[in-house]
Amino acid sequence: MLAIVSVGMGLGQLGLMRWIEGRFPRGTAVAIEGAVFLGYAGLVLWLLWRLQHHKHVGAPRCPHCATALEGASERIAAATGRCDCCGGQVVA
């Protein structure tokens, strides 16, 4: 979803900028383009936050200390069977 929105809306924004520049005076065109860009940037940032949030919420947790096992912690727990934070047994 993030890739579709960011690329699709980015290309759409370029087309809109060309259209606006031919129809409005320079000051008005810059104001409209700036507002559209801020909306686009806000949407992309929200989608990035949402992606990171769902990755964190969906990560497995240590049964002893409830630390999220993600990234290097997940790989260490898979290799050793233990949580790298508290050392508790995660995988039998």
Domain count for the chain: 2
| Bridge partners (DSSP) listed for residue 61 | 68
Q: Are 19 and 48 part of one and the same domain?
A: yes
Same-domain check for residues 74 and 49: no
* Residue 41 structural domain: 2-58
pTM attached to this predicted model:
0.65
Are 48 and 6 found together in one domain? Answer: yes
Tell whether 7 and 34 lie within a shared domain. Answer: yes
Residues 87 and 64 in one domain: yes
Query: What would the DSSP string read from start to end of the chain?
Result: -HHHHHHHHHHHHHHHHHHHHHHS-HHHHHHHHHHHHHHHHHHHHHHHHHHHHHHHHTS-B-TTT--B--THHHHHHHHHSB-TTT--B---
Same domain, 43 and 77: no
Summarised one tens digit per residue, pLDDT across range 22-59 is 899 999 999 999 999 999 999 999 999 998 888 888 88
Summarised one tens digit per residue, pLDDT across range 58-87 is 888 889 998 888 888 888 888 899 998 898
